[in-house]
Structure 1
Amino acid sequence: MDRHGLVCRTVLEQPDITQREMAQKLKVSLGTVNGLIKECIGKGYIAERTDGGGGSGWELTGEGRRLLEGYKVDGALIIAAGFGSRFVPLTFETPKGLLEVFGERMIERQICQLHEVGITDITIAVGYLKEKFEYLMDKYDVKLLYNPEYSDKNTLATIYRSRKVLKGRNMYVLASDNWMRENMYHAYECGAWYSAAYQDGETKEWCLSFNKRGRITDVKIGGRDQWVMYGPAYFSREFSARFLPVLEAYYKSPGTEQFYWEQVYVDMLSGEARHRLEQEDGELLNETVRASGLSPAHWDEIEMDANRQPDNQVYEFENLEELRLFDPRYQNHSDNAAMKLVAEVFKVPESQIKDIRCLKSGMTNKSFLFKVGERHCICRIPGPGTELLINRKQEKQVYDAVACLGITEHVIYMNDRTGYKIAEYYEGARNADASDWSDMDRCMEMVRRLHQSGITVGHDFDIRERIDFYEKLCSSHGGILFEDYQEVRGWMDWLMDRMDAMDRPKCLSHIDANVDNFLFLGDGGVKLLDWEYAGMCDPIMDVSMCAIYSYYDEADMEKLLAIYLQREPTKDEYFAVYAYAALGGFLWSLWAVYKSALGDEFGEYTIIMYRYAKKYYRKLRKL
């Protein structure tokens, strides 16, 4: 940092400051401050003043103000795109940066602190639940910048998407979920820095080495009794001029999708960035050097200081447990529907709900794992739009009907109106492996047991009705259908007419016989989970659904059918398994289009399912 600039900024903000106070503020010795003041007076940046009553202090001269002008902060970028998985279930409803600490939303606290020092040009990079941030545009006149890659890439991609906001400007780079006790922002900053906090004992954070002037010289992950990267950062325009070309090159390089933006800086500092780009792509390296405007020998040189903060100044809450310890309100009054429900079901205060962890979100629901006493459980929260897709009363009827078979998970609570469900978590269990035919033999054994149980319910799974319904949902919610949709829809009508003519028998079927729904327990047992779509249907439907969910080819699908039947299939059974595979693929592709219109994306799943519809229709027409 320009230490003359720091002296000038300090005099501007606090003209009555003493040399001793300035030494403490700048974290240097009293002798160093005395020397800096003498130099600043000599350069005409500051002048000593007296107030006539014996008091004294400093004043900034015109030359000093001109010096500071180059260090004026232009604005701030606040990163708020991520999900915040370690704060579930709160972040199922609210982005992490919008959580309150002592009654004040974390992102709003930072915006207000920026405003206090005159920084009002603020851009928020959003992604997950982006609509939740819209009100800030009116309340604080901020700008929102959407990062479409928020769900599958890390902050390197967020900075890449925001690079135009940073180029040629002096900018704070903040995380929406940081909390600063005292305002650490200024109208002027005299060089790039990263906030640092001292951590006693072992740490897995990014540990800093720096010289006597505070310039960072090395960064290592993990250490003991270290200053660590912790909190906000500041990008000077000079820093960004060197940093952003390399970050852009990293973004274009494979294998960097999960990188934090800090990794680029660390690699530049260590020389790894030069090595990576030299190995990666010669043209990409040349482009990076040209963009930096520097010589090939110096394009990767980078300077950033450690902005050491006192204890209890900066907080990066790692998980809900840390937030609970900091703000006692979260111990028993989180204002979250799922937490409130768990507390009511188990008749405990929220503080006794421990070890909360996000489970991988399903395609229909979101779930989290928790512990109350010695019981490990899973709470299911229905996803957006689910109330139109799932009849919860019918789901509960199925669970009640098959309870005597003992093949489902142990359900502790189920609400047939909201769809919330709490079930036992099976420690050490695993999902079925679609490539392991011994696993699939046991899965089909369980499906046969269900089909042969004689249990009935009062509703069908009617694939014609479901296709019609999903098609209407897509149309009413702006879902973009496939270019050849009308033609393929005609093909599906032909298949459904053929299946109706075959008049095959019905029994209670699971419909969603995905391998992920078969749970192999540590004691050798098997459970079949998630009966949301179950109803009376042709039992071959379960075989077809299991096959397409497993992305089986034709040979594997026919092998699975033979395992289920325990004999050679008939011609009609072969026809049925392919027809339902086509119809199922068509149905789930419509489902995915509808979910996409609601903001959920499932990658290539939509196309794979649609391809099944076309592929197996064509196969059956040839038979």
Structure 2
Amino acid sequence: MKRSQFDVLYAYLRAGEPLTQRQVQAATGMSLGSANAAVRECEALGLLADRSLTDAGAAALEPYRVTNAVVLAAGLSERFAPISYERPKGTLRVRGEVLIERQIEQLLEAGISDITVVVGYKKEYFFYLAEKYGVRIVVNDEYATRNNNGSLWRVRDRLDNTYVCSSDDYFTVNPFESHVHHAYYSAQYAEGSTDEWCITVGAGDRITGATMGGADAWTMLGHVYFDRTFSAAFRQILEEVYHLPETAAKLWEAIYLDHVSDLDMRVRRYPAGVINEFDSVDEIRSFDPLFMENVDSEVFDNIASALSVPKAEIVDFYPLKQGITNLSCHFSAGGQEYVYRHPGVGTDQIVDRQAEFDALFLARELGIDRTFLAGDPDKGWKISRFIPHCRNLDVNRPGELARAMSMARSLHNSDRVLARSFGFVEEGLRYERLLTANGPVDVPGYGELREKILRLSRYADADGFPVGPSHNDFFPLNFLVDEHGHIDLIDWEYAGMSDVASDFGTMVVCAQLSGEQAEEALFAYFEGEPTPVERRHFWAHVVFAGWCWYVWALAKEAEGDEVGEWLFIYYRHAVDYVDALLASYETDTPLLSAPAPRLSAGAVA
């Protein structure tokens, strides 16, 4: 059926009554002449009679009836920090309505009742929709490791005449229809530069490609419609490429664009302001000025209380690099810049927050970490000063490694006591228990290395070196150097009472210091040449640090995580020096310089 004929028949279907020529023109958006010509064609085919839709006309529309809708709601919405730390973006209330509820109600209003919501991140926030609206819930358990192609994969068998929507869109008018002529991607015009996909089209408004970013262009924005032909072709392509390694990171739209010549989709243009997508908190509150007053967010409550500022003055949010155990975002308030740290899921099981905060207060008092401002050890959140234009510690810059080691010495010698204790060997044995839970350790040489580590540990313990407050994650990425050269040591989650050699061990392993650099670090720490006993004891903790994180890496890989080259880096630091140190202890031979490595560091390059 031609598009003009479809538009006329659909206009009559929606009206449910006879229409005048002018009414047909207004309903279809065609010129009066084109509308009249299409009406005559439909009458000639028996699809219209007496200015009304015939049974044949209704039957002719049936292949174009929308079968269902899929609402994608599995994503992390990382750009929407910090609210996305607490709840999925689609559950936010904007202009008095919950985003996903408003969209579901618009679909229902259009007569589309078969609705599937694909959930992942904080999926439990969407479960109530099944009871409230009768939607189907499908769980995408790959939401953290795949892009949105993983969500379409979960519902690929449901793709038919299907609307594909995002849970966090806000449409000022209902864009959904009960019948659609052809597959389309909605679009809105962007004046000036934009980071969105900018569409190129050919004959008949068929999409021929898109570029990420551009200017003064129609951009892919909002909902999409798959017709049966498109769904069948896209499903086949998805099944062909889904398991390729490079596919995991792709948006489904990127897969479509990779095969755009084989997939017939048109562009449907909408006026400015009809489709609204929100990529940040600042964007959503510019759309809804009352959003901040009404938002139910513990994050904003924490910030407002800690800094004594109104919520309306908390602005300029954007996510920072996410760590293994935490989520962090930048914000501004009262003309100052800050970082909000939100604890990752399950971190209360692996991080002693009270011990962390005890260390934070100590580090602030000692001037080692001037960034820490406020937080709650029970809930794990923390506010710090944001340091603009900073960089991480560079051990190759003259004097920086020495300054870091001086910071460690002042911490160790502070005569304070932290409640938590940390030892590399004990920690490594804990990781070993996790490792063996997945089966026996059959790595060649593991048992022999383990026996050497435990033997070396007994010798090092007998040295009688003191324990003191230690950082225990003491490596360059946890140092911030501002534009004036001031250094702060951050991230105190693993701090506790440890052998004073532990921080040196971590630095050597994780910064992959050469023997010369390690000796420079020792000289700075001891404020002079270390004794042979001091040198041997501190180098033993290089071995312990390497072994601890080697076992940790084995455990992670046994769980399916990829550690990469660090597995060998940790292993190398354990095996490089263990024999020389054991020989020094067992023959009572003084260690007068850094032990020579057994393996080549170049093997990791």
**How does the TM-score come out when normalised to structure 1?**
0.80
Conserved in 2, the CA contact under 8 Å of 1:196 and 1:231? yes
Deviation, structure 1 residue 196 = 2.0
CA distance in 1, matches of 2:86, 2:164: 25
Relative to structure 1, is the Cα distance of residues 606 and 160 closer, same or farther in structure 2, using a 3 angstrom cutoff?
same
Partner of 1:291: none
- Secondary structure of 1:70 counterpart: helix
Q: Is the 8 A contact 1:466 1:587 kept in 2?
A: no
Q: Cα deviations across residues 98-126 of structure 1 (Å, max 9, x unaligned)?
A: 22223332222222222333333333333
CA shift in 2, pair 1:472/1:585, >3 Å? closer
Q: Is the 8 A contact 2:419 2:496 kept in 1?
A: yes
Distance 2:201 2:552 in 1: 59
Structure 2 counterpart of 1:359: 320
Counterpart amino acid of residue 22 in structure 1: V
Q: Deviations over 1:24-52 (max 9, x none)?
A: 3333222211111111111111222xxxx
Q: Which runs of 5 or more residues in structure 1 are unaligned?
A: 49-56, 270-299
- Pairing 1:424-463 to 2, within 5 Å after superposition: 424-433=385-394, 439-451=400-412, 453-463=413-423
Aligned with 2:170 (options 158, 163, 179): 179
Distance in 2, matches of 1:22 and 1:437, equals 79
CA gap of 1:171–1:466, structure 2 versus 1, over 3 A, is farther
What does residue 58 of structure 2 align with? 65
Partners of 1:171 and 1:579 in 2: CA distance:
58
Determine which of 503, 510, 518 is the counterpart of 1:542: 503
1:510 offset after TM fit, Å? Answer: 0.8
C-alpha contact 2:327 2:341 (8 A) present in aligned 1: yes
The alpha-carbon deviation at position 95 of structure 1 amounts to 1.1
Does 2:187 correspond to 1:196? yes
- Matched position secondary structure for 2:230: helix
Letter in 1 for 2:6: G
Q: Who is 2:548 aligned against?
A: 583
Evaluate the alpha carbon distance shift between residue 510 and residue 139 of structure 1 in structure 2; reply closer, same or farther with a 3 A threshold: same
- Written as runs of structure 1 = structure 2, the 5 A alignment for 1:138-157 is 138-157=131-150
Deviating more after overlay: 373-382 vs 101-110: 101-110
Match of 2:128 in 1: 135
CA contact (8 A) 1:150 1:158 kept: yes
Change in 2 beyond 3 A, CA 1:547/1:130: farther
Query: 337-346 or 565-574: which moved more?
Result: 565-574
User: What corresponds to 1:96 in structure 2?
Assistant: 89
Report the alpha carbon displacement of residue 263 of structure 1 after superposing the two structures with TM.
3.2
Alpha-carbon displacement from aligned partner over 1:494-522 (angstroms, at most 9, x marks no partner): 66555544443222211111322111110
Within 1, Cα distance between the matches of 2:363 and 2:197?
A: 52
Q: Percent identity?
A: 32
Secondary structure (helix, strand or coil) at the match of 1:371 reads strand
Which of 103, 111, 115 is residue 118 of structure 1 equivalent to? 111
In the TM superposition, residue 134 of structure 1 has moved relative to its aligned partner by: 3.2
**Which structure 2 residues correspond to residues 304-383 of structure 1 after superposition, within 5 A?**
304-383=265-344
Q: Tell me the equivalent position of 1:13.
A: 14
Cα pair 2:364 2:372 within 8 Å, conserved:
no
Question: Which residue of 354, 358, 381 maps to 1:420?
Answer: 381
Aligned to 1:281: none
SS at match of 1:10: helix
Give a deviation string over 1:556-596, Cα, whole Å, max 9, x none: 47555423212576444333320233135446776x699x8
| Alpha-carbon spacing, 1:615–1:446, altered in 2? closer, same or farther (3 Å) | closer
Is 1:77 matched up with 2:70? Answer: yes
Structure 1 residue aligned with 2:232: 241
The equivalent position to 1:565 in structure 2, one of 522, 530, 537, is: 522
Say if 1:106 and 1:238 are closer, same or farther in 2 by CA, change over 3 A: same
C-alpha spacing 1:527/1:18, structure 2 compared with 1 (3 Å): farther
Measure the CA separation in 2 of the matches of 1:621 and 1:484. 22
Q: Deviations over 1:475-532 (max 9, x none)?
A: 9xxx964542998797576665555444432222111113221111100111100222
Task: Report the residue type matching 2:185 in the other structure.
Answer: Y
Distance 1:401 1:333 in 2: 38
2:161 is aligned to: 170
Measured against aligned partners, the alpha-carbon deviations of 1:339-360 in whole angstroms (never above 9, x if no partner) come to: 1111122222211111111112
Question: Corresponding residue for 2:253?
Answer: 262
**Change beyond 3 A, Cα 1:301–1:404:** closer
C-alpha distance in 1 between matches for 2:346 and 2:568: 21
Distance 2:401 2:438 in 1: 34
| Inter-partner Cα distance in structure 1 for 2:254 and 2:548 | 47
Partner deviation per Cα, 1:122-168 (whole Å, 9 max, x = no partner) = 333333223433333444443444445433543345445543332xx
Q: Distance in 1 between matches of 2:414 and 2:306?
A: 33
TM-score computed with the length of structure 2 as normaliser = 0.82
| Structure 2 counterpart of 1:399 | 360
Q: Distance in 1 between matches of 2:84 and 2:285?
A: 15
Alignment equivalent of 2:563, drawn from 605, 616, 619: 605
Q: Does 1:389 align with 2:350?
A: yes
Query: Which of 23, 33, 36 lines up with 2:35 in the alignment?
Result: 33
Contact 2:474–2:507 at 8 Å: present in 1 too?
yes
Match of 2:494 in 1: 533
